[in-house]
Structure 1
Amino acid sequence: MQLPSAQVAVLETASADEAQSVDALASATDLPPETVTGAVFELEEAGLVAINEAVDETITLTDEGAEYADEGLPETRFYEAALAAGADEDPVEMGPVIGRSGLEGPQVNIALSNYARKDYGVIDSGEVTADPEADPTADPELVALETLAERDEEVDADSLAVDGDVLDQLERRGLLERRETTVRSVTLTDAGVTELMAGISAAETVGQVTPELLTSGEWREAEFSEYNVEADAEVVDGGNVHILRQTAERVKDTLVGMGFQEMEGPHADADFWINDCLFMPQDHPARTHWDRFALERPTHIDHLPEDLVERVERAHREGVGPDGEGYNSPWDEDFARAIALRGHTTSLSARYLSGEQIGDLEPPQRYFSVEKVYRNDTLDPTHLLEFFQIEGWVMAEDLSVRELMGTFEEFYAQFGIHDIEFKPHYNPYTEPSFELFGTHPTTGELVEIGNSGIFREEMLEPLGVECDVMAWGLALERLLMLMYGFEDIRDIHGTLCDLELLRDTEVTY
């Protein structure tokens, strides 16, 4: 029997009594492992050898994981600083606790996002409390990191007595790396033994077409090796459009298909456009420094339309119409000129409705945006410091809540969501107002997915709008939760995102 030389070498080296790994066969035959692998698959197809496959998983610490094993996890350091500040007795300000902990940069956000998750305490409205019964030294994630650090090498996962969920969490946090390798062991079959006893010899075969082979014409007489299309190849993960961006583009296509035009505008804007034009009183809690991200430089906008500023101030002070009362609260133009990161894209709606952005608009009009907004919220499975908001509004005569609800039902139906629920709500700038909820496909819980209503006269009259405007702000990330069953929006972007989940999740249409 004639076989390619590599197959002959493997067949003569393999044993019928003892399984040998591909690496062992490669070492014994002085052939590259990939050549031996190809030969083994070809011999298996011919029934001359049997292949047994096993997957070995090894774990190593990343540089960040090694640092935390030595210095402690950010959340445990934050907890210890909170205890030292007396947070186990009374709430304390978050700023001094961060300073005492020595955490800087991204580690601060990491500590805050994991502090409540591990029940070390509560962070609310910029204040921290600490549970005196918590024991950070027994933190399973910290113990696992310390165990890996002690081994100081690549560790076989089967030899590590650590809960799988803990390893999954550490991997999501980028503190360890898992590597899976397929180990193949080879044994001779009865047919292989028979052929060896009958005698085998090496056939001259060509495994690669070369320029010389082509120009000389020798390829006509050459015997070519078979190409095994089932052989393992190195997996290379290429770049891809993030699922959140893909869904954002799909939302845009859907709204354009419903007759809307897209808005655009600044991420950092004057409080005037972000809040004052929305009839949001200047002493509203949401406008304090705890809930907004102000700019250090520049601090104030240079230009605002004077006549519009006067009308907005009058609405705040006196109200609109014969029965209007306004807020009877302080109104300061200097505060209105202060620049902050927008907390909602309704600032774009105010710019467009006022005519400041693209000129005066005559009804009917439909506009939308899918843009980032920024809020100083506490991080949790449904809240981020920055996220995407689906803003939209319709300007027309005699609009009602019926048209608004119908718009939502049509929009969400495009994404396979048909169980939207509505709940009455209060907004300073809409009346009536209501929140939207959808049912999470995995947990069955109601998830708030947006806020909406009909813009109040106190907002529209200063902007010069003389007809009805219905409007909404929907959360793109929470739409993603309803579509794909994500339970924590930190899994899809941010420092804790799950890359494998993002690679494997298919965008549906």
Structure 2
Amino acid sequence: MKLPEAQLAVLEAASANDAQPIDRLAEETDLDPPTVAGAAFALEEEGLVGVTERVETSVTLTDEGHEYLDTGLPEIALFEAAREADGETDLGSVIEAADLAGPQVDIALSNYARKGYGTIESGTVTADADADPDADPERRALAALAGGESIADESVLDRLASRNLVERHETTHREVRLTDDGITALMEGVETADTVGQVTPELLTTGEWEDVEFAEYNVEADAEEAHGGRTHVLRRTAERVKDVLVGMGFEEMDGPHVDADFWINDCLFMPQDHPARTHWGRFEMDQPTEIDDLPEDLVERVRAAHRDGVGPDSDGYHSPWEAEFARELALRGHTTSLSSRYLSGFEVGELEPPQRFFSVEKVYRNDTLDATHLLEFFQIEGLVMAENLSVRDLMGTFTEFYEQFGITDLEFKPTYNPYTEPSFELFGEHPVTGEIVEIGNSGLFRPEMLEPLGVDCDVMAWGLALERLLMLTHGFEDIRDVHGTLVDLDFLRNAEVVY
């Protein structure tokens, strides 16, 4: 029998009495472990050796895990500060008292209610008197792992891993033992075969490749796992949404993330004393604080609509309206600011119906973090400008759009918006939980919005949540599995866009 040199070395070093680890065989044969493993698998195919393997998993703390082991988990710091405040307390004050900053704030908010430490609603935080931070399973697990102990509860380890506080390391141990056929082969004698591992230019030019023996290539041998870069599933879904809307005849809009409150809210007939326009609902800019280039004639028309309404059947709000507030800069809370820019003619010039526009862009809201809300997310904005539009046209557009993603069970619910009438919300069924999930808001723009912008035909519009669409197509239940502090890397590496 003839064998390649590496296989012969492993066969001779293997024992029939004791299974030998790959590393020990590598030392005895002076070969590297991957070469020994490949030779062992080849010998196993010939029945000359047996290869057994076992996988051991170890868990170690990350740098962030060590930090929280020393300083405490952010949610516990928030709880202790809230408990010391004794009662319902302003969230900002508790965060300051807990000495939390940057990403730690988001982490504390996302885990506080989940662990039963209390509630966070409308900017107010409460502490549950029965909560016991010392019994926090994640806190105790960090301490146990640091002390060299093992954790039996896989759900706790999963949570710590998702928070990037621990890392799992899987180690595969392989052992090789001679079989009876292997012993027989050695007794009968085994020679080294002159084999070639790969074709070289010299073999081809000299013609020697016709006479040499090529080593068999084991396609089942282990290879190092590599995770190459790939486009984020949310970005790929956004591109798919764009393809669908372009295919439906829409043209893409573009505009600033930081904009004047005038374009974000005033043009949408949103009263300046609306709760969403306070510091609790928006991110205002500190530097610069306001915009200069607003069209004065449009500003005056919008002001008049707010104060007195439009036409004989509209009274307006009769509430204070200040141009200074309209000029203040903030991160846009919705991409409907782009719709107001385009409809006014300010962005691309005066528009003549029919027109169809859309955008898939990021928006920013001062929301409480939970499974369906983040401080920033993507909104699918759209508008159709035409004569004699109705709710049926709007519902038909949604039906056609969502069918492209396999969603055919849409439900509609009437609602109220300051800038649309009639208005309705869209809902879809979650494929895993069966719950009805809100996925968007829509309606026909009111005359109080359109007339100041100089639009004298119907405009139907909507704002849909890109992340909610992803929830319905892929079945995940927490928006933070896609982006945020709890992102699921395995999901991002393996998820495919649903067409």
Q: TM-score interval w.r.t. the shorter chain? A: over 0.9
Partner of 1:27: 27
1:408 maps to 2:387: no
Partner of 1:236: 226
1:278 maps to 2:275: no
SS at 2:484 equivalent: coil
Partner of 1:8: 8
* Alpha-carbon offset, residue 217 of structure 1: 6.8
1:419 maps to 2:416: no
Distance 1:184 1:442 in 2: 39
* Alpha-carbon offset, residue 377 of structure 1: 0.2
* Match for residue 116 of structure 1 among 101, 113, 117: 113
Q: How does 1:306-317 map to 2 (within 5 A)?
A: 306-317=296-307
Q: How does 1:42-81 map to 2 (within 5 A)?
A: 42-81=42-81
* Alpha-carbon offset, residue 47 of structure 1: 1.3
Deviation digits for residues 85-127 of structure 1 (CA, Å, limit 9, x no counterpart): 22xxx21111221121122211111111111111111111221
Distance 1:340 1:493 in 2: 23
Q: How does 1:463-478 map to 2 (within 5 A)?
A: 463-478=453-468
Please tell me the residue identity of whatever aligns with 1:20: Q
Please tell me the residue identity of whatever aligns with 2:111: N
Q: How does 1:290-369 map to 2 (within 5 A)?
A: 290-369=280-359
Distance 1:228 1:244 in 2: 38
Q: How does 1:365-444 map to 2 (within 5 A)?
A: 365-444=355-434
* Match for residue 103 of structure 2 among 87, 102, 106: 106
SS at 1:361 equivalent: coil
Deviation digits for residues 461-483 of structure 1 (CA, Å, limit 9, x no counterpart): 10111011111000000000000
Partner of 2:257: 267
Please tell me the residue identity of whatever aligns with 2:282: R
* Match for residue 131 of structure 1 among 123, 128, 132: 128
Q: Which runs of 5+ in 1 are unaligned?
A: 152-158
Deviation digits for residues 449-501 of structure 1 (CA, Å, limit 9, x no counterpart): 00001111111110111011111000000000000001001000112101111
Kept after mapping to 2: 8 A contact 1:144/1:162: no
Q: Which runs of 5+ in 2 are unaligned?
A: none
Partner of 2:188: 198
* Alpha-carbon offset, residue 150 of structure 1: 1.6
Distance 1:336 1:226 in 2: 75
Kept after mapping to 1: 8 A contact 2:6/2:36: yes
Query: What TM-score comes out, normalization by structure 2 length?
Result: 0.97
The aligned length equals 499
* Match for residue 148 of structure 1 among 145, 150, 154: 145
Distance 1:161 1:269 in 2: 50
Larger mean CA deviation between 102-111 and 293-302 belongs to 102-111
* Alpha-carbon offset, residue 227 of structure 1: 2.1
Partner of 2:471: 481
Distance 2:196 2:409 in 1: 64
* Alpha-carbon offset, residue 308 of structure 1: 0.5
Larger mean CA deviation between 223-232 and 133-142 belongs to 223-232
Distance 1:181 1:217 in 2: 44
SS at 1:377 equivalent: coil
Partner of 1:185: 175
Distance 1:493 1:161 in 2: 27
Distance 2:197 2:112 in 1: 59
* Alpha-carbon offset, residue 201 of structure 1: 2.4
Partner of 2:497: 507
Please tell me the residue identity of whatever aligns with 1:49: V
* Alpha-carbon offset, residue 222 of structure 1: 3.9
Identical columns (%): 71
Kept after mapping to 2: 8 A contact 1:437/1:447: yes
Distance 2:252 2:452 in 1: 23
Kept after mapping to 2: 8 A contact 1:70/1:146: no
Please tell me the residue identity of whatever aligns with 2:12: E
Distance 2:398 2:199 in 1: 61
Please tell me the residue identity of whatever aligns with 1:136: P
Distance 2:196 2:349 in 1: 73
* Match for residue 224 of structure 1 among 214, 218, 222: 214
Query: What TM-score comes out, normalization by structure 1 length?
Result: 0.95
Distance 2:237 2:246 in 1: 14
Kept after mapping to 2: 8 A contact 1:492/1:502: yes
Partner of 1:456: 446
